[in-house]
Structure 1
Amino acid sequence: METQPEPAKEAAMDTVTGPDPTAEFEFDVFAKACVSRAAMEHITGRWGVLVLGGLYDGPMRFNALRRRVDGVSEKMLAQTLQALERDGFVRREVHSAIPPRVEYSLTVMGQGTAAKLLDLIAHLEGHMEQVLVAREAYDRERA
């Protein structure tokens, strides 16, 4: 017997329109044992942010993405892509050709997440002069 999701929970999971502010969530990223923490780590880890941002403009093959995310090793890129694919943010598509061609792209949820991360990146880059001044002052005080 298949159970239907409760309307509030179904609305809360809508990735196109966003969360329903009146819905109750089962997940709490601030709770130590919450499974959402792993997804948060995959997204916000050093490489997750850059991979999602790198794929925002469209599908890419592995080596093109590796060039875009300067400094990532082949192993770390593969692990990051697998984690993001498992969580539903990235889609891996194998094109039948000789040799086979693999492209990575963002899912709808991945696009929404990447857009928010790119806003954060733009905010950070727009305030880097202030960050550098703050670092200098901090270092001077502790010298």
Structure 2
Amino acid sequence: MSEDAVRDLARSPAEARSLHHHEVFPAHVLLCVAHHESDASSLLKTAGVEYLVLHAALAAGQPAGKPSTKRELPWSISMEHILQLSQSYTKKYFTSGHLLALILDNDKDSVTLLSECGLSVPEFRAALSQHLGDL
């Protein structure tokens, strides 16, 4: 995995905690992708998706919860599935863009979140596919 993919996965529990969630969902990884500099975040920004807008939309769609006291947060079932898929990926260089593609293909909640933030998901998938094909 590339440094950006490892970084985004490693920082996603902090995003979950910031929203008082008790599991790490694909949307938390999506927030990390949008927040930290990478090819994938550049594609999101070009498409008009900003971290703060995504964060606010995710926070607004969730009931307020109590902060987690757990030292480590578990991966949700949907995130575990995406991680399993990433391990079977045949590319030697797996980036945040590949992670983003897996999230778009396997997590309806993240797709809905992006749509609510004004992203044309089909157009973005096409742009992301083209970008990944160029790597």
TM-score per shorter chain, which class?
Answer: under 0.3
Give the structure with the higher percent strand. Answer: 1
TM-score of the superposed pair, with normalisation by structure 1: 0.23
Give the structure with the higher percent helix. Answer: 2
> Looking at both structures, which has the greater relative contact order when contacts are Cα pairs under 8 Å and sequence separation is at least 6?
2
TM-score of the superposed pair, with normalisation by structure 2: 0.24
